[in-house]
């Protein structure tokens, strides 16, 4: 019983074999997934997937890299979609200082607008953070994001930052990097954060866990993330699977 909280099955990398990928996920024990749409084409595909598969849910929002492209019409469209019964969160949203397509000030404005929308429609938010931790934490505090809470997706920060986010009503989601031999921080976070505040994800097709690092990722591999967390915490794999599934259903309000 595994819940992959962040997949991009709407990516073109699955155009040829989506059915097989989904079948493999189910065979590996993945009972639920959240597919993330972050611009017009990927949101449309995400909504198509939730209509076709009972166990797939959607998260819709605007990616910070493309913040410069978001219009008021796009924001209104996201608001309309937020009332769909299978849209369980808004995002992924946040800040990305690695790529320079969208100026920082534009990213911040689009991030704030989406947090305010999420509070209006009462949905949790999914945070994308790349090289922007201090600014993200500051904006979450200023916008009182703890009122809705959410997910720190593919968390790569320190245990101290993770604890700060948990105190703001956020879950810490770990993906493939926690399995990398040289990835110290995710392992420290897995050890430091209580099991009732952890989620697991693949972020597929990106960030495949060891031993598939560098290859196309897929939801069936989320089992490797759960196994690694179990090893770090010195508990059973079943315990991690149950707890992270329970946590995901709680934050996304899935019965």
Q: What pLDDT, on the 0 to 100 scale, is given for residue 236? A: 98
Rounded to an integer, what distance in angstroms lies between the CA atom of residue 106 and that of residue 44?
24
Q: What pLDDT, on the 0 to 100 scale, is given for residue 143? A: 98
Q: What percent of the chain is modeled with pLDDT above 90? A: 99
Q: What pLDDT, on the 0 to 100 scale, is given for residue 214? A: 96
pLDDT-based confidence at 194, cuts 50/70/90? very high
pLDDT in tens, 217-230: 999 999 999 999 99
pLDDT in tens, 154-187: 999 999 999 999 999 999 999 999 999 999 999 9
Rounded to an integer, what distance in angstroms lies between the CA atom of residue 105 and that of residue 245?
36
Query: Closest Cα to residue 213, out of 180, 175, 190, 178?
Result: 180
| CA dihedral of residues 218, 222, 224, 226 (deg, nearest 10) | 170
pLDDT in tens, 71-106: 999 999 999 999 999 999 999 999 999 998 999 999
Q: What pLDDT, on the 0 to 100 scale, is given for residue 100? A: 85
In this model, does residue 1 exceed pLDDT 90? Answer: yes
Q: What pLDDT, on the 0 to 100 scale, is given for residue 12? A: 97
In this model, does residue 109 exceed pLDDT 90? Answer: yes
HSE (side-chain half, CA atoms, 13 Å) at 193: 33
SS3 string, 194-234, reads CHHHEEECCCECCCCCCCCCCCCCCHHHHHHHHHHHHHHHC
Mean residue pLDDT of the chain comes to 98
Other CB atoms within 10 Å distance of the CB of residue 165: 28
Are 218 and 202 in contact, with CB atoms under 8 Å apart? yes
Q: What pLDDT, on the 0 to 100 scale, is given for residue 93? A: 98
In this model, does residue 33 exceed pLDDT 90? Answer: yes
């Amino acid at each position: 019983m595994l819940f992959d909280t962040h997949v991009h099955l709407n990516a073109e990398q699955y155009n040829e074999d989506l059915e097989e990928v989904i079948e493999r996920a189910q065979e590996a024990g993945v009972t639920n997934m959240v597919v993330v749409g972050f611009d017009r084409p990927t949101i449309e595909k995400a909504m198509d997937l939730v209509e076709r598969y009972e166990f797939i849910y959607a998260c819709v929002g605007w990616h910070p890299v493309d913040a410069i492209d978001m219009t008021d019409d796009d924001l209104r469209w996201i608001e309309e979609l937020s009332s769909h019964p299978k849209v369980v969160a808004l995002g992924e949203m946040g800040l990305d200082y690695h790529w320079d397509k969208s100026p920082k000030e534009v990213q911040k404005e689009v991030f704030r607008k989406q947090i305010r929308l999420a509070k209006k429609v009462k949905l949790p938010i999914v945070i994308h953070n790349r090289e922007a931790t201090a600014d993200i934490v500051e904006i979450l505090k200023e916008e009182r994001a703890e009122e809705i809470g959410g997910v720190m997706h593919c968390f790569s920060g320190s245990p101290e930052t993770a604890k700060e986010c948990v105190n703001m009503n956020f879950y810490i989601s770990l993906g493939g990097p926690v399995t990398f031999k040289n990835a110290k921080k995710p392992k420290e976070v897995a050890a430091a954060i209580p099991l009732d505040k952890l989620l697991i994800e693949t972020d597929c097709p990106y960030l495949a866990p060891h031993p598939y690092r560098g290859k196309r990722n897929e939801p069936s591999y989320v089992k490797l993330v759960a196994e690694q967390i179990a090893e770090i915490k010195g508990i059973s794999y079943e315990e991690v699977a149950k707890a992270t599934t329970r946590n995901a259903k709680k934050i996304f309000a899935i019965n």
